[in-house]
Every structure is written in structure tokens, then in C-alpha cells.
Structure 1
Amino acid sequence: MSDESAWAGLPDAPGLCRICRHPSLNRTKRGTTYLRCTRAKWDERLPRYPRLPVRDCIGFEAADHARDPR
């Protein structure tokens, strides 16, 4: 699955997660795509599976490949 098709498979727009360095996109065998925050593994202030779209996040760090989240 290409990067763009993975993002397109999310049920809602990702918001800030789209340009953050911490998201991990996963797809189930049934075709459901979900986003997991990898920073939540060590930063307990963050939800492991954030509610989308993320509009504000204390753990946000722009990715090197950052794009407009809209």
C-alpha cells in the first residue's frame, strides 16, 4: 500500500498527525486503516490511538516531509 493510499484509507482527516513525525498507519486484514501515535509508547500524556482529526497535540513534532494537513 502506497503512502498516499494509506492516508486516504483513514475514516477521517488526520489533522496534525498528517505532518507529524510520530504516526504509524496500520491496515487490518479486513481493510480498515487506523492511525497509532508512536510517541504515546513513551509519552503517557498522549493517546495511543488519537481521535481524528487531531487539531492540537502537546507531542507534535513536524516531520521532515511535512505537508499541509488539510
Structure 2
Amino acid sequence: MYPQPVAVTIAQIESAINHWRERRPAVEDDQPVLCAEARALADVYGLLIFSGAASVEYSTLNAGQRDALAAVLR
């Protein structure tokens, strides 16, 4: 088991989104759709951009967001 980070940076979230986009690309090129993991992280990413924040507290993420990050933050 890996220790939980205190905060997750916007760069880490962007990296995780790109990881999931490469792993599970859109099925149809004319209808790009993010997979569930990338979609969950995109919500956090968008809020960070909107608020101008550089990071988010790990404890504020929901289970799906934490799971999506776990694959990348190891």
C-alpha cells in the first residue's frame, strides 16, 4: 500500500488524465468521449483551472478520483 499524498498538483492530475486517455482512448474519433477515470479527474482539473489553484487536498477527492489517480501516483 502506498501512502496517501496530502495534496495533488494540477500537473499530476493532468498527467493522470493523459495516462487514462492513452490507456482507454475514445472508441470513435468523431465523437471523442473520455473514459470514466479521465472524466472524474477532468472535473477536478477544471475546478482547479477555474479557481486558479495549483493543487487540491487529497482528502477532498471522491473514491473514483482517488482510484483514477492511484494508477499514476505510484
Structure number with higher relative contact order (C-alpha < 8 Å, ≥ 6 residues apart): 2
Q: What is the TM-score with the length of structure 1 in the denominator?
A: 0.31
Radius of gyration: which is bigger?
2
| Higher percent of residues as helix | 2
Q: TM-score by structure 2 length?
A: 0.30
